[in-house]
Structure 1
Amino acid sequence: MPQTAEVARLYQTEFIRSARAVGALWAVCTLCFAIIEVVILVQPSWVGTREAYYQGGAPPPPAGTLGLFEMCLETDWLVPECRGSLHTLTPLPAFQSAAVLVCVSLTMVWVSVGCLCLFRFCNAATVYKICAWLQLAAGFCLALACVLFPDSWDCAEMRALCGEKVASFSPGNCSVHWAFVLAMLGVLDAGILATLAFVLGNRQDALLPQYGKEGESQSLALIRREMACKKPLIACMSNLIYL
């Protein structure tokens, strides 16, 4: 019986260490995902012009990039000329829905980061599950933003940058840039983090192995049996004291 209890204690200790290591990795990835969401929101690199060569005396079309809040055109200087309201967080009229969804997703991710402080006050399984639902909702909002953004390409800003061949889900002379790709990868990242949080939350109730629980129950049964055997002796001693 002591050997079974010792094995159960060692197994529980290793299991807790592994769970804490995976939980720390999940927390770091959650913080990185929140920072990536900020980059996705503010970067004007969702769509950009393709590299092309033009012949003749016609002036080349403008070159630059476009995001949710700004459209930046290349100039002869190193700094591009940007049009938009990033400082006031006013999105371009055609991309307001996508910008709102990204903002909602960003808020949920940062709320899940703030929930990491609750591990000192609340049950770990509950905190993991709260963060999982927040990350799942954030990924869903980000996925909707990735769908609504190309659906809104038929607008004046896109025509000015990418030509008249622009249509919904057709960027014309432009192509998808790294910020839009990062947003799509963020949807996958949110799904992975939410799944890992659900797994960690469900495993918190299984920190003690099954055979450890059986050994504990057997030990309790043995103690109760010994106490039952000693009851007559205790009763006799109490009677003598009473007399």
Structure 2
Amino acid sequence: MCYVIVTCRSMLWTLLSVIIVLMHVAALLSPQWLLGKEDVVLNGVTPSSNNRQNSTTTVQYRNTETFVPTMGILTRCKQIYTARSEYNYVTCSYYGSFGDLPSGLWKTMLVFYCFGLFILCVIGLGSILSLCVRSVCKKSIFTLSGFIQAVAGLLILISLVFYPAGWGSSRAEELCGDTAAPFQPGDCSMGWAFYVSIAATILTFACSVLSVQAEIATSVDDIQDEIDKGKHLICIV
């Protein structure tokens, strides 16, 4: 017989487990990890008539905009200009393959990050099932999930250490200047994706602790009393 048991603490743990996964996915797919120096984009380039005396060409620009090149774990955004085109434009693209990642340290970071994220996805699904499944192999689904969440958080934390260690790569130097080095971003600054990843990692450990409270909340005598009354949907504070 399936009983749906909802408490404030168990529901909070479930919601946080799902939100953490969404935060990590958004951060991983975003190019907003490393922000370069702001550049001026000159749009609408049109050559005017040539000056016959000095054979030079005067160029007019219809408008200018600012652009910040960025580099993420899987994507990067850069300014593209071709001589035959009237416009500069910005394009964001994924790296073609795992081998195209800017640094070997970032490759290691991606492995740890994705493995930790995969674990969190499984736990996120398990947190939803915890509304009607309270044990797995005679072990509490809350405490078991909380322990696994802590392991996943540790893996992602390790990956976040590898990330700044890869700032000394040649591609990072192209974006951040010659002063870029491991743990020194040079002329670059950190984007919102990096901070979201850190916040999600902190919430992962907090969620691991909250799972213990969710287990306590779903083990009180009031729940058993409701089950004895024949109720299948039980909501308590």
Same fold (TM over 0.5): yes
Aligned length: 183
* Ranges of 4+ aligned residues in structure 1 off by more than 2 Å: 50-53, 74-83, 88-91, 118-125, 202-205
Q: Which residue of 1 aligns with 2:173?
A: 159
Alignment of 1:173-192 (within 5 A): 173-192=187-206
**CA distance in 2: counterparts of 1:42 and 1:52, whole angstroms:** 24
3-state SS of paired residue (1:168): coil
Whether the 8 Å CA contact 1:166–1:172 is kept in 2: the answer is yes
Highest Rg: 1 or 2? Answer: 1
AA in 1 matched with 2:113? V
Taking structure 1 as reference, are residues 22 and 137 closer, same or farther at Cα in structure 2, changes over 3 Å only? same
Matched, 1:92 2:101: yes
**CA distance in 2: counterparts of 1:118 and 1:165, whole angstroms:** 50
Matched, 1:70 2:75: yes
Q: Hey, which of these two has a bigger chunk of helix by percent?
A: 1
Q: Hey, which of these two has a bigger chunk of strand by percent?
A: 2
Whether the 8 Å CA contact 1:84–1:92 is kept in 2: the answer is yes
Q: Which residue of 2 aligns with 1:11?
A: none
Whether the 8 Å CA contact 1:128–1:201 is kept in 2: the answer is yes
- Could you give the per-residue CA deviations for residues 192-212 of structure 1, whole angstroms, max 9, x where no partner exists? 11110022224544x138xx9
* Larger relative contact order (CA 8 Å, sep ≥ 6): 2
**CA distance in 1: counterparts of 2:156 and 2:102, whole angstroms:** 19
The CA deviation at 1:83 is: 5.9
Using the aligned pairs only, state the percent identity: 20
- Could you give the per-residue CA deviations for residues 53-105 of structure 1, whole angstroms, max 9, x where no partner exists? 9xxxxxxxx941111122211355564243623xx666614110111111011
3-state SS of paired residue (1:138): helix
**CA distance in 1: counterparts of 2:184 and 2:93, whole angstroms:** 23
- Could you give the per-residue CA deviations for residues 158-197 of structure 1, whole angstroms, max 9, x where no partner exists? 0111111110111111011111111111111101111100
Give the alignment partner of residue 135 of structure 2, picking from 123, 126, 138: 123
- Could you give the per-residue CA deviations for residues 85-129 of structure 1, whole angstroms, max 9, x where no partner exists? 3xx666614110111111011101111022132543443971111
The CA deviation at 1:20 is: 1.1
Matched, 1:198 2:212: yes
The CA deviation at 1:24 is: 1.4
Q: Which runs of 5+ in 2 are unaligned?
A: 41-66, 81-86, 226-237
The CA deviation at 1:47 is: 0.6
Give the alignment partner of residue 157 of structure 2, picking from 143, 147, 150: 143
Alignment of 1:1-16 (within 5 A): none
> What TM-score, normalized by structure 2, do the two folds share?
0.68
3-state SS of paired residue (2:221): coil
Alignment of 1:206-225 (within 5 A): 207-208=220-221
Q: Which runs of 5+ in 1 are unaligned?
A: 1-16, 54-61, 213-243
